[in-house]
Amino acid sequence: MLATDPLYILYTSGTTGKPKGVVRDNGGHAVAMKYSMSAIYNMPTDGVFWAASDVGWVVGHSYIVYAPLIHGCTSILFEGKPVRTPDPGAFWRVCEEYKVKVLFSAPTAFRAIKKEDPEGAELDKYDLSSLESIFMAGERLDPPTLEWVQHHTQKPVIDHWWQTETGWAISSNPVGIESMPIKAGSSTKPSPGFKVEILNELGEPVGPNQQALSRLSDHCHRAV
């Protein structure tokens, strides 16, 4: 098998333009998966990693199946939603039961938990001492959600940005190398191999704290 042989084809949702089939190769993806588990997620090979996502999406492909297993750690496959299964403490119950070190899910999941349990009472029922950090991606992490999860879990909440086309983080806080300050609305620094430019509608670079477009070298766009 060659490093350039195809691993899978996964179709995008269409949020970055016309839906397209992304062909992932074997070699480069395996290297990115292995690297990210150490550099971005700070996962030991004997740890428990939980990507609470659908295995049919890119997060599930990358971080339920390939990355944890290539890295050699335990991966949790959870079917269901974070509330009413049977309660909004489902995520915290699983973290305690399986001694999860890193939890990764979408901001929507935590907004659902917050809606059902605004005071965070469910967290008091479970021992989260094994949990070191919570990663979020898949959509914009709004500051109120970040602050609520940080406040009630007392864990670092780390935003990172990527999409189906890339298969892993375009920008992130590389806690396995150096844990940088968490800033609401920021996914911190570009990951190795990505050149990220913040541009206005004229294609000109903009300064900090301005609303603009983010353009990668392959001209994918996203509001930031």
Say if 64 falls within a structural domain.
yes
Structural domain for 218, as ranges: 194-224
Residue whose pair of structure tokens reads 């009413």 in the numeric block: 84
Name the packing angle between helices 143-153 and 107-116 (round to 10°): 70
Q: What pLDDT, on a 0 to 100 scale, did the predictor assign at position 211?
A: 67
Residues 121, 220 within the same domain = no
Residue reference for tokens 């206005």: 200
Rounded mean pLDDT, 76-89: 90
- pLDDT level of residue 103 (50, 70, 90 thresholds): very high
Is the domain of 88 the same as that of 186?
Answer: yes
Q: Is residue 104 domain-shared with residue 148, that is, in the same domain?
A: yes
Query: CA nearest 109: which of 157, 154, 71?
Result: 157
Q: What is the mean pLDDT of residues 195-218?
A: 73
Q: What is the pTM of this model?
A: 0.88
| Same domain membership, residue 156 and residue 213 | no
How high is the mean pLDDT of the chain? 90
Model pLDDT, residue 167: 94
Average pLDDT over residues 180-187: 92
Worst-scoring range by mean pLDDT, 9-13, 33-37, 157-161? 9-13
How far is C-alpha 111 from the chain's CA centre? 15
CATH number at residue 171: 3.40.50.12780
Is 146 a member of any domain?
yes
More confident residue, 196 or 172: 172
How far apart CA 10 and CA 164 sit, in angstroms, is 8
Domain for residue 144, yes or no? yes
Q: Give the number of other CB atoms < 10 A from CB of residue 4.
A: 9
User: Please, is 156 exposed, middle or buried when counting C-beta atoms within 10 Å of its C-beta (0-12, 13-18, 19+)?
Assistant: middle
Note whether 83 and 134 are same-domain residues. yes
Domain identity same for 218 and 142: no
The number of distinct structural domains making up the chain is 2
Q: 217 pLDDT exceeds 50?
A: no
Q: What is the pLDDT of residue 222?
A: 38
Indicate whether 36 and 133 sit together in one domain.
yes
Summarize the confidence of residues 124-134 as an average pLDDT: 97
Are residues 117 and 64 located together in one domain of the fold? Answer: yes
**How does residue 15 score in pLDDT terms, banded at 50, 70 and 90?**
low
Same domain flag for 205 and 143: no
Contacts of 139 (CB under 8 A, 6+ apart): 106, 107, 108
Residues 132 and 204 in one domain: no
User: Does residue 161 belong to any structural domain of this protein?
Assistant: yes
φ, ψ dihedrals at 143, nearest 5°: -55, -40
Comparison of pLDDT for 152 and 193, the residue scoring more: 152
Radius of gyration of the chain (CA): 17
Sheet holding 102-105, edge to edge: 74-75, 48-51, 102-105, 133-136, 157-159
Q: Among residues 81, 74, 36, 23, which one has the least CA distance to residue 54?
A: 81
3-state secondary structure of 183: coil
* Any domain includes 212: yes
Look at residue 1 and tell me if it is in a domain: no
22 and 56 in a single domain? The answer is yes
**Pair (170, 198) in one structural domain:** no
User: Is the model's pLDDT at 108 over the cut of 50?
Assistant: yes
